[in-house]
């Protein structure tokens, strides 16, 4: 589709807005109004500014206009986006629960608006200016409050550690993560583990030199339990041996897929000092599991949970995904019931992220929007059921191309919130990351700016160019040296 903009600065926001309704459409920005199906025009006459948006879609046409004396370009951009949003809404009949808001950290934005406008002002801003639904504003309010209590635990020298294991037993159809099916990468794993332990050691040395305080450690993936018990012990052993963990508040290991949960691995995780694990069924419906290429059944999740409880794990998170292919509202509700019977301390409800598909062009758009409405009912049901069960929302984030333009929400029983989840999403403090595709994020506590150090994306690159990669970590010390005296 062609887009004509009179203000080229609006390009980024307008394209993101169009993606809410047409996630996989190819947009081109054109200089000729006549060849465009989407037009956003700003005209100035003296102090008066006239904004207009037009949309031609499905052989229908919608056009809206408004006048203002506003001078702030950001605000003019927001108003233009709102006009275009209304045009889309008029033709498609779809109202996004997040309105024109497209950012990934809405709770952070809400918290910052509360500081500027007060709680009521922030609510009004989200409702009237960003067109966010009341239900999402309530969710934001609760999560922002809960996140604040966790963020306040973080102090000047606080950091968290992330360790990535980018292997999985097989690839799920919906996955967009850089993860290698173990069948293809088996030979690489011993070398990967050995080098990862070295990177952990080197990173810990830097942290010690800088006197950084480790608040949380998170071993994620992929599926960390693709590693053997012995390999898990080696990785966790390296963390315990080299980092100063006296003040550690949380040590999470994503056990991930239930088909990888064995007694040997769980014992290694327990002995390695994990305080929290995650066992992720995604759905408790075997038909849906087959449809997404997961090689386990719901009964494997039950067994994995029973085993983990028997071995003494007392803080277990379970993940569900709303909007999976073949899932229905009824089967999603049933999955949630099954999960609740297993009494997890926390439940994370994700929304499926759409992957590019030939079907999902303009013609497939109505189907995608309908899928979004179904997913919205699922996440609403999850929210109400979990809150009723005493499991409350404590953090949230969004990704691009989520079904229904929805969100991922972490729910927890009070006292069982996943601290690392909040720190990484809020960008509260520095994250020291080890492993393939891991990204170290250095946070300047004064300006709030984040500097990133990227590790190589793929495990074979990580192994082959390890020394080169390790060298990049020298930047950590320089970063803190430059901060010296400013905090
Ligand atoms: S288990 Fe997770 S990371 Fe691995 S393939 Fe499936 S969705 Fe991707």
Ligand 1 pocket mutation pick from 165, 175, 350 by most atoms within 8 angstroms of CB: 175
Residue minimizing CA distance to atom 6 of ligand 1:
172
From the CA of 176, give the closest atom in ligand 1. 8
Ligand 1 pocket mutation pick from 173, 223, 321, 438 by most atoms within 8 angstroms of CB: 223
Question: In 3-state terms, what secondary structure has residue 132?
Answer: coil
Which of 176-190, 254-268, 431-445, 469-483 bottoms out in mean pLDDT, i.e. has the lowest?
176-190
From the CA of 171, give the closest atom in ligand 1. 5
From the CA of 170, give the closest atom in ligand 1. 5
The predicted pLDDT at position 177 comes to 72
Dist CA 44 CA 300 (whole Å) = 64
CA-nearest of 242, 241, 226 to 193 is 226
Check residues 284 and 103 and name the one with the higher pLDDT: 284
From the CA of 257, give the closest atom in ligand 1. 1
pLDDT digits (tens, 9 = 90+) for 357-381: 544 455 667 777 888 889 999 999 9
Residue minimizing CA distance to atom 3 of ligand 1:
222
pLDDT digits (tens, 9 = 90+) for 40-80: 999 999 999 999 999 999 889 999 999 999 999 999 999 99
When pLDDT is cut at 50, 70 and 90, the band that residue 178 belongs to is: low
From the CA of 280, give the closest atom in ligand 1. 1
Q: Are strands 430-434 and 167-168 parallel, antiparallel or unpaired?
A: unpaired
pLDDT at 192 over 60: yes
Give the distance (Å) from ligand 1 centre to CA of residue 43. Answer: 49
Residue minimizing CA distance to atom 7 of ligand 1:
175
The predicted pLDDT at position 179 comes to 61
Give the distance (Å) from ligand 1 centre to CA of residue 2. Answer: 36
pLDDT digits (tens, 9 = 90+) for 296-314: 899 999 999 999 999 999 9
The average pLDDT across 390-400 equals: 94
Give the distance (Å) from ligand 1 centre to CA of residue 270. Answer: 23
Give the distance (Å) from ligand 1 centre to CA of residue 471. Answer: 30
The predicted pLDDT at position 429 comes to 97
CA-nearest of 392, 358, 356, 351 to 374 is 351
Question: In 3-state terms, what secondary structure has residue 164?
Answer: strand
Give the distance (Å) from ligand 1 centre to CA of residue 174. Answer: 8
Dist CA 136 CA 121 (whole Å) = 16
CA-nearest of 161, 331, 308, 125 to 236 is 161
pLDDT at 145 over 70: yes
For the chain, give the percent of residues with pLDDT over 90.
82
DSSP run (H or E) holding 45: strand 38-45
Give the distance (Å) from ligand 1 centre to CA of residue 395. Answer: 21
CA dihedral 369, 372, 373, 375 (to 10 degrees): 160
pTM: 0.92
When pLDDT is cut at 50, 70 and 90, the band that residue 433 belongs to is: very high
Mean residue pLDDT across the chain: 93
The average pLDDT across 424-431 equals: 96
pLDDT at 104 over 70: yes
Give the distance (Å) from ligand 1 centre to CA of residue 223. Answer: 7
The average pLDDT across 381-391 equals: 97
pLDDT digits (tens, 9 = 90+) for 318-360: 999 999 989 999 999 999 999 999 999 999 999 998 876 544 4
pLDDT at 273 over 50: yes
Give the distance (Å) from ligand 1 centre to CA of residue 324. Answer: 14
Question: What is the strand order of the sheet 2-5 is part of?
Answer: 28-29, 2-5, 38-45, 48-57, 60-68
Dist CA 460 CA 469 (whole Å) = 13
Residues with CB under 6 A from ligand 1: 168, 171-172, 175, 177, 179, 221-223, 256-257
Question: In 3-state terms, what secondary structure has residue 454?
Answer: strand
CA 267, 272, 275, 276 dihedral sign is negative
Q: Is the CB of residue 163 less than 8 Å from the CB of residue 239?
A: yes
Ligand 1 pocket mutation pick from 221, 291, 292, 351 by most atoms within 8 angstroms of CB: 221
For the chain, give the percent of residues with pLDDT over 70.
97
Give the distance (Å) from ligand 1 centre to CA of residue 175. Answer: 6
Residue minimizing CA distance to atom 5 of ligand 1:
171
Give the distance (Å) from ligand 1 centre to CA of residue 400. Answer: 18
The predicted pLDDT at position 358 comes to 43
Residue minimizing CA distance to atom 8 of ligand 1:
175
Dist CA 332 CA 338 (whole Å) = 10
């Amino acid at each position: 589709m062609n887009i004509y903009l009179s203000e080229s600065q609006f390009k980024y926001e307008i394209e993101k807005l169009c993606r809410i309704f047409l996630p996989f459409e190819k947009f081109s920005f054109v200089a000729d109004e006549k060849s465009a199906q989407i037009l956003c025009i700003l005209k100035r006459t003296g102090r008066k500014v006239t904004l207009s948006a037009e949309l031609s879609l499905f052989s229908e046409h919608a056009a809206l206009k408004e006048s203002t004396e506003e001078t702030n370009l950001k605000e003019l951009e927001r108003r233009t986006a709102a006009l275009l949003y209304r045009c889309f809404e008029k033709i498609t009949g779809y109202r996004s629960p997040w309105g024109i808001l497209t950012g990934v950290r809405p709770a952070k934005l809400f918290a910052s608006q509360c500081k500027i406008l007060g709680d009521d002002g922030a609510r009004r801003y989200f409702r009237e200016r960003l067109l966010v639904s009341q239900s999402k504003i309530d969710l934001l309010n609760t999560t922002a409050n809960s996140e604040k209590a966790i963020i306040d635990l973080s102090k000047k020298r606080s950091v968290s550690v992330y360790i990535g294991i980018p292997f999985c037993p097989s690839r799920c159809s919906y996955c967009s993560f850089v993860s290698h099916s173990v069948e293809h990468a088996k030979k690489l794993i011993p070398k990967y583990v050995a080098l990862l332990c070295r990177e952990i050691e080197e990173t810990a040395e830097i942290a010690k030199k800088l006197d950084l305080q480790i608040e949380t450690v998170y071993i994620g993936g992929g599926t960390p339990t693709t590693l053997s018990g012995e390999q898990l012990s080696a990785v966790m052993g390296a963390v315990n041996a080299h980092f100063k963990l006296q003040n550690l508040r949380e040590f999470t290991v994503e056990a991930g897929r239930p088909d990888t949960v064995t007694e040997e691995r769980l014992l290694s995780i327990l002995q390695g000092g994990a305080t929290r694990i995650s066992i992720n069924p995604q759905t408790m419906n075997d038909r849906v599991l087959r449809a997404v290429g997961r090689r386990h059944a719901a009964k494997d999740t039950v067994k994995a949970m029973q085993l983990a409880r028997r071995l003494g794990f007392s803080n277990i998170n379970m993940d569900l995904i709303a909007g999976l292919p073949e899932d229905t509202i009824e089967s999603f509700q049933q999955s949630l019931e099954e999960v609740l019977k297993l009494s997890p301390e926390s439940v994370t409800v994700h929304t499926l992220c759409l992957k590019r598909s030939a079907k999902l062009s303009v013609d497939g758009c109505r189907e995608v929007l309908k899928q979004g409405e179904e997913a919205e009912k699922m996440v609403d049901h999850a929210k109400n059921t979990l809150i009723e069960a005493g499991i409350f929302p404590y953090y949230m984030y969004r990704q691009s191309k989520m079904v229904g333009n929805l969100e991922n929400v972490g729910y927890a029983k009070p006292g069982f919130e996943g601290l690392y989840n909040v720190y990484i999403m809020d960008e509260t403090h520095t994250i020291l990351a080890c492993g393939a595709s891991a990204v170290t994020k250095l946070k300047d506590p004064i300006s709030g700016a984040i500097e990133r150090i990227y590790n190589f994306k793929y495990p074979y690159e990580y192994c082959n160019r390890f020394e080169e990669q390790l060298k990049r970590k020298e930047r950590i010390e320089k970063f803190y040296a430059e901060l010296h005296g400013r905090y």
